[in-house]
Structure 1
Amino acid sequence: MVDERPPGPRSRRGAVVIVCAVLLTLLLAGHRLVPNVHGLGSLVDSVTPLLGIAVPLLALAALLRRSRPALLAVLLPALVWAGLYGRAWLPPAAGADGAAVRVVSQNLRVGNPDPAATVGALTGDAPDLIGLQEVADGDRVASVLAERYPHRAVVSTVALWSRWPIREAHGVDTGLGWDRALRAVVAAPQGDLAVYVVHLGSARAGHTATRDQTVAALADAVRADPADRLVVLGDLNTATTDRVFDPLTRLLGDAQAEAGQGFGFTWPAGLPVTRPDHVLYRGLTPTAAGVLHTPDSDHRAVTAGFRW
């Protein structure tokens, strides 16, 4: 006799987990297909690395439901996430030895109660170049840096401090209506190095047009720059996974991706979930990259070392 009773709860065990795993897989694999309307695509791109957190949660749910099909389904988003971002967690091939140039970049934060303490923390590893954004109290910054970094260039609220002479410096128009970026030529011992210190337009949920325009303007400036060796330090208000970042990645390497480990998140400083701060380069070989937690800023600093 055929049992025609409807399937019991066991046959549906784990169905919700399976559906969630499939949806997560589709989002991970196809996040670039989300239309970038009012910045929605950029937002999804930026948070995609964090979606990996859902994988162990779904696996736990599958185990609690005692569902083998659900546990197998969770392998799909796990494999896709690993394919997209697993390389970031491998030990970097490059070593810190032999770095000819060490750089650090820090958004100081407007309203920082003690910018001197913030910049003081940047000097611990003796970088050769320090790029700063949101500099509101240059005198207090100078009180800490001037002795060890006798050369500086300042444009509006961005600044470069250098151990080596700065041959020239000027503002860079990124379309904000006022210069919030500079380009300097540093006379390093091995030769001239073009250094950009940049603070691009802010991005908010639903309002990314200004940021997007400034990314494009920076890419245009870098594309037209004749320098063989070039470094970009700054708060670009853009995650590396954001499609808007692509014009820069087609022109420049990313020190964190090449010589760092992990995502290198920098914001917010207390529990960072994204990386708007970057060290980009061309004509150099990155040897190290990392993140430095400094006091009194809402951003962590980014560091990198390069061989000529």
Structure 2
Amino acid sequence: MQHGTRDITFAAAAVLLGGLLLAPRLLPEFGGIRQLVGSFLPWLLVPALLLAAVALGTGSRIGLAAVVAPILAWSVLFVPQLIERPHGGSSTDALRVATQNLGAHGTAAELTDAAIISVQELTDRNRPSVAAALNPDHPHVATVGTVGLWSRYPLDDVERLDLGQGWARALRARIDTPTGDVTAYAVHLGSVRFGETESRNSTLRTLTDLINRDRSDRLLILGDLNTASTDPELAALTHTLQDVRTGLGFTWPADFPLTRPDHILTRGFTPLDATVRRTPGSDHRAPTATLACQQVATRFGQRPPIR
């Protein structure tokens, strides 16, 4: 390959990688390509580093200069996430929460230190073992289809939610905690297959609309949203909520996590810590977090508007 052609190839590849990192939303939805790239966006560092190694090995100065752009873009996007941590410390009103896609044989027994636990993929086969593990310390239970919510504190106003799948696979409940009411959404959004993302996208839009209309001061979304933190489709939901995690917090697949479809999203809380746990029997790891309740600012007795 002549030097000129080689350098153009390196530059074009670098521009492509930089564009994917900075503007994945511009990709067409056709075939699920946007969702695929968005879900695995942090892994674009690998081809960028390989491109740099090849450019170095072939002595292409233009190639090395060009590959700086996608590596810099990756650093701007993800280095802050890697070094940022929750506030830390402790609080007397802290609330520990967790969410777990149970998979075929999970029981969530390793999550019993959490006061509120959301589970997905609850079936007739695993329901008895999940109940045996969680009921003793979490006597307040609500289930809808394959989704369940276990709590140490009373559940009120439990509502089945059909997010557009034709059956309920989500619920909303008010939890009477020692520090006040918390509205919790236990959610399992539409499944995703390569080339088939409309079900997920539709349920995500419906959930976003519900959250935008929910005036609760303290709110949790716990569940498998079938979309990664880096997926552009999630941005409309996280615009008004905090995505609680430490680092990239990958959860799937459990053996070697590559992306994060499982989420803890909050409003009205300050994260004190966040972890991802490996739990036996599931192909998903479980996000957990400790949250401190923020003081609710009101004016003339009215709740503040969502911003």
Structural RMSD (CA): 2.0
Q: Which amino acid aligns with 1:81?
A: W
Corresponding residue for residue 273 of structure 1? 258
Q: Residues 11, 182 of structure 1: CA spacing in aligned structure 2 closer, same or farther, 3 A cutoff?
A: closer
Who is 2:271 aligned against? 286
Q: 2:94 aligns with which of 96, 100, 103?
A: 100
For residue 167 of structure 2, what is the amino acid of its counterpart? W
Aligned residues: 290
2:53 pairs with one of 54, 57, 60: 60
> Can you list the C-alpha shifts for 1:40-86, whole angstroms capped at 9, x where unaligned?
22222222221011222122222222333322222111111112222
Q: Name the CA distance, whole Å, in 2 between partners of 1:18 and 1:134.
A: 46
Residue 96 of structure 1, CA deviation: 4.6
Q: CA deviation digits over 1:205-236, x for unaligned, max 9? A: 11111111100111122122232111000001
Q: 1:207 aligns with which of 172, 186, 196?
A: 196
Contact conserved, 1:254 with 1:278, CA < 8 A, in 2?
yes
Q: Which runs of 5+ in 2 are unaligned?
A: 294-307
What are structure 1's unaligned runs of at least 5 residues? 1-7
Letter in 2 for 1:132: V
Q: Which has the larger radius of gyration?
A: 1
Q: Kindly indicate whether the alpha-carbon contact (under 8 Å) linking 1:32 and 1:243 is maintained by their aligned counterparts in 2.
A: yes
Whole-Å Cα distance in 2 between the matches of residues 248 and 292 of structure 1?
24
Residue 117 of structure 2 is matched in structure 1 by 130
SS at match of 2:130: helix
- Give the structure 1 partner of residue 287 of structure 2: 302
Does the residue aligned with 1:101 lie in a helix, a strand or coil?
Answer: strand
TM-score (normalizing by structure 2) = 0.88
Tell me if 1:34 matches 2:34.
Answer: no
Identity of aligned residues (%): 44
1:1-308 matches, cutoff 5 A: 16-92=9-85, 94-98=87-91, 100-109=94-103, 111-112=104-105, 115-116=106-107, 119-123=108-112, 126-136=113-123, 137-256=126-245, 260=246, 262-308=247-293
Q: Tell me the CA shift for residue 306 of structure 1.
A: 0.9
**Contact 2:24-2:232 within 8 A present in 1 as well:** no
Distance in 2, matches of 1:142 and 1:283, equals 30
In 2: Cα distance, 1:11 partner to 1:50 partner: 29
Letter of the structure 2 residue corresponding to residue 273 of structure 1: L
Q: 1:96 and 1:277 mapped to 2: Cα distance?
A: 25
Per-residue deviation at 1:15?
Answer: 5.5
Take 1:39 and 1:14, find their aligned partners in 2: how far apart are those partners?
A: 31
* Paired amino acid for 2:157: E
Is the CA contact (8 Å cut-off) linking 1:96 and 1:305 kept in structure 2?
no
Equivalent pair of 1:39/1:207 in contact (CA under 8 Å)? yes
